[in-house]
Structure 1
Amino acid sequence: MRLPLIACVLILAATPAVAQASGYYAATLAQPAEKTSLVTRNTIWKCNGTTCVAPKNGARPQIMCELVAREAGALQAFTVEGNAFDAAALEKCNARAR
């Protein structure tokens, strides 16, 4: 009985770290995030250090990139479902950075 209980506790304790590491959108910030979460229009981003992640929504990826750059500052990288933006697309995002 104790072993399943311990396993459940360990799984639940690891859940936030797993959720933080995954997301449909992922932004790598040039500077660590000032907050652990931020909101762009109707999307909640969860941040830890220089990484912010968010679930999929209806906006175009370029718009999502520009919105997070506007709220969090310049980005070093931006990925959508694991696919990284190229340098030109990232530069366009960073033109909107605060």
Structure 2
Amino acid sequence: MSLKTAAKTLLAAVVISGALFSGVASARNEQVYTVRLAAPVAEATRVIADNALWNCQGDTCVARPNHGVSVRSCRQFVREAGAPVSAYGAEGRQLSADEISRCNAALDSQTLQAAN
């Protein structure tokens, strides 16, 4: 195999790998997560929590995070937003009422720490 042929083969492999990787990465970011706030915000607000940018309007916040639906990620949102939520998740996976309660407990513990 000549050096020119080897270089072309390597270049083709790099291009194909890049295309495959970018397809996987972009597919992962396409799921929209929704948070339903316990009380609506007065004006459009942005919250950065768990490496995701949430856009909030009324009682709804939406984002395209790179993590799964979990109590941990919900707690991060509640801490940064400073407000309890009534729902958290994505299509096909919403936190249960018990998980939402555990999520909102992060706000209670944060309030207690601030008072001390």
Aligned residue identity for 1:55: R
Is contact 1:37-1:46 (8 Å) kept?
yes
Q: Does the 8 Å CA contact 1:37/1:44 hold for their aligned counterparts?
A: yes
Instruction: Name structure 2 gaps, 5 residues minimum.
Output: 1-30, 112-116
Contact 1:77 1:84 in 2 (8 A): yes
Q: Distance in 2 between matches of 1:24 and 1:77?
A: 14
Equivalent residue of 1:32, what SS? coil
The alignment status of 1:63 with 2:72, answered yes or no, reads: yes
Q: Percent identity?
A: 33
CA distance in 2, matches of 1:60, 1:79: 6
Tell me whether 1:54 sits opposite 2:63 in the alignment.
yes
1:94 aligns with 2:80: no
Query: What corresponds to 2:86 in structure 1?
Result: 76
Aligned mate of 2:36, from 18, 22, 28: 28
Identify, as 1 or 2, the structure richer in helix.
2
Large movers: runs of 4+ above 4 Å: none
TM-score (norm 2): 0.56
Point out which structure has higher relative CO (alpha carbons under 8 A, 6+ apart). 1
Query: Matches of residues 5-16 of structure 1 in structure 2 within 5 Å?
Result: none
Give the unaligned 5+ runs of structure 1.
1-22
Q: Which amino acid aligns with 2:45?
A: T
Letter in 2 for 1:28: R
Q: Which has more radius of gyration? A: 2
Q: CA deviation at 1:84?
A: 2.0
Amino acid of the residue matched to residue 39 of structure 1? I
Counterpart CA distance in 2 for 1:48 and 1:93 is: 21
